Structure 1
Amino acid sequence: MAILTALIEVILPVVLVALAGVALARAFRLDMDTVGKINLYGLTPALAFDSVMKTEVSSGQAVQLVGGYLLVTALAGLVALAGAWGRDGATRRAMIASVVIGNNGNFGLPIALLALGRTGLDQAVVIFVTSLVVMYTVGPALLGSHGGLRDAALTVAKLPVTWALLAGLIVRSSGWVLPVGIGRGIELLAQAAIPMVLIALGLQLGQRSSLRLSAPVLLASAIRVVAVPMLAVGVALLLHLDGPELSSLILACAMPTAVNAFMLAREYGSNPELVASVVALSTLASLGTIAVVVALLPGLA
């Protein structure tokens, strides 16, 4: 019964909005770069700023969430490496990248809001920013970028979300009060972020409907949607997390492979077909596994 409730109350709203994006992608020729820029430069930074201004996440909780997420990611990478052992280099790197780059934006933010409320969303923003750091450092390193750590650090530093978080921290710590009009404008942008990232996810999936099942695709997808949440439970217990922090970490680690993993694989020519298939399969499979995780979270927390 709890799983059915999770499917109806948490998964169904997300699926409906994403399906609207899929329908739009099939009906019209839409420019994904434009949609991506709207999200990256306009809406998500506003959500990050608004979350910092309103969040009740303490610095200690943030450290626990970031540390826990990074530890789970490292362990997941080792599991993926073991599963990909013996395969050619491009396949091995693509499998590992597909496992460690989770969709904590398009999927993670709205599901955290629906499943855990405003507190869950605030903590999900912390994990989302951490996942961006992983995506733009570990991702290029695995998939063939030769820019090194310096280029990766510059990429993260250029992300608007990074500066929005910094601005929010400065404003909040200083005690400044934003003018009502500016505050309400930022809040409106923040409220648009959740549905827009889901529309973007639907657009991306609708424009890339190919799914080629193979042993590496099945294995990487299984590790991402089954093994990674189990690792998160172990890490949460190891770090003595409980309550909202435990729930947020486990739920974040139940997300499927991020669509941006495919974009990085395409950029660097590192088996993008495999990564695209893992994105599609893990996203579909996660609809069921996330419902199970949401149903089990009250007992775990």
Structure 2
Amino acid sequence: MALDPSALMGPLWTLLAFVALGILAARGLKVDPRPVATLLIYLIAPVTFFRALVLGGPTPAYLGLTAALFITASLVALCVNILAKRALPAEEGAVLAFSSGTGNTGYFGLPVALVLLPPDGVTLYLFCVLGVTLYEFTVGFYLSARGRFSVRDSLLKILRLPLIYAFLAALAVEAIGIEVPTAVTEALSVFPATYTLLGMMIIGMTLGRVSLRSLDGRFIGACVAVRYVLWPLLMLGVVLALNMAFDLAPELAMALLLVGVVPMAANVVVVAMELGIAPEKGALAVLITTLAAPLVIPLYLGAMLPLVS
């Protein structure tokens, strides 16, 4: 299965247009991105997450995939966090630790998955994304908060995050057998698009305030290395190991590889903005990895797919 680089240009230009809108909003309209970040974390993300789980029909196998990605992302972030504490200041280290466990699996990865995968494969990919998202708003949020707050305050901030309760509510709905009315799920269909739009605009709003002093080569280099070296190799190793043990389905192999090659997550900036920890540096790193994606993703997948087929 080959990937045409032109398949990435549509998602890329759409995302960059949203970033440009954010720059215009910050510079021309003087929009403060902090309330937008709060809105994303405490309202839009939980509703989007709940809707995706309810529509996906979480079976034990799908939830096992979600749990596996959550554990993988958390372990990567915890390991990087140990190294980051030694090499970077506290706030930059916290942003790097958070970013190391996640990627732009939703805003960027999902349109690519829709091109590459059949419907069953897209469903597998979505449950991988849910695991990464769950990491972002639990372990990842904690690691970010520790760059500025105490252990107690960091844990309290996690307990206040509604996404955790949205996840539990979706599982309860499925376990009890409650059928969410079609009218409700259709009404909530505006949330995923809003999540993407505002998530990418926040990068632009942050970049609109960036000065040359925010350009930190060591920090950006570390972010790029984790996202485009560590994660592709990790997911390739996972797929090869699973292939030898279980004869992995091609759709699942592609879904896992795609999780490993997407650019940095826009939520790096969202969470950094909410916690007030180096959002400008995070925005620059996200933008650089996003611009590199049309070159990196076809190159990596083209090299890895023959190894796992």
For Structure 1 versus Structure 2, the TM-score category normalised by the shorter chain is 0.7 to 0.9
Instruction: Give the Å deviation of 1:194.
Output: 2.7
Aligned pair in 2 of structure 1 residues 188, 294: CA closer, same or farther (>3 Å)? Answer: farther
Q: 1:129 aligned to 2:127?
A: no
Could you tell me which runs of 5 or more consecutive residues in structure 1 were left unpaired when the two chains were aligned: none
Following TM superposition, the consecutive aligned residue runs of length 4 or more in structure 1 with deviations greater than 6 angstroms are none
Aligned pair in 2 of structure 1 residues 73, 201: CA closer, same or farther (>3 Å)? Answer: same
Q: 1:155 aligned to 2:160?
A: no
Instruction: Give the Å deviation of 1:213.
Output: 4.2
- The CA distance in 1 between the partners of 2:60 and 2:211, in whole Å, is 41
Cα pair 2:80 2:97 within 8 Å, conserved: no
Aligned pair in 2 of structure 1 residues 292, 9: CA closer, same or farther (>3 Å)? Answer: farther
Instruction: Give the Å deviation of 1:55.
Output: 0.6
SS of residue matched to 2:215: coil
Instruction: Give the Å deviation of 1:29.
Output: 0.6
User: Aligned residue for 2:150?
Assistant: 146
- The CA distance in 2 between the partners of 1:222 and 1:21, in whole Å, is 27
User: Aligned residue for 2:225?
Assistant: 222
Query: Among residues 145, 168, 180, which one is paired with 2:170 in the alignment?
Result: 168
Query: Among residues 257, 260, 264, which one is paired with 1:256 in the alignment?
Result: 264
**Equivalenced residues, count:** 291
Instruction: Give the Å deviation of 1:171.
Output: 1.9
Deviations 1:74-129 (A, max 9, x none): 346646866x6974x627x7347415425858x32122320113523443133211
Please report the TM-score for the alignment, with normalisation by the length of structure 1.
0.76
Deviations 1:245-266 (A, max 9, x none): 4434433343316224644784
Cα pair 2:33 2:206 within 8 Å, conserved: yes
- What are the residue-to-residue correspondences of 1:1-301 with 2, within 5 Å? 2-71=3-72, 74-75=75-76, 78=79, 87=87, 90=89, 94-95=92-93, 97-102=95-100, 104=102, 107-117=104-114, 118-119=122-123, 120-141=125-146, 143-148=147-152, 151-208=153-210, 210=212, 211-240=214-243, 242-254=249-261, 255-256=263-264, 258-260=268-270, 262-263=272-273, 266-267=276-277, 278-286=285-293, 288-293=295-300, 300=308
Cα pair 2:74 2:135 within 8 Å, conserved: no
User: Which deviates more from structure 2 when the two are superposed, residues 163-172 or residues 285-294?
Assistant: 285-294
- The CA distance in 2 between the partners of 1:33 and 1:272, in whole Å, is 10
User: 2:150 is matched by which residue type in structure 1?
Assistant: H
- The CA distance in 1 between the partners of 2:85 and 2:35, in whole Å, is 39
- The CA distance in 2 between the partners of 1:185 and 1:48, in whole Å, is 14
Cα pair 2:53 2:170 within 8 Å, conserved: yes
Percent identity of paired positions between Structure 1 and Structure 2: 19
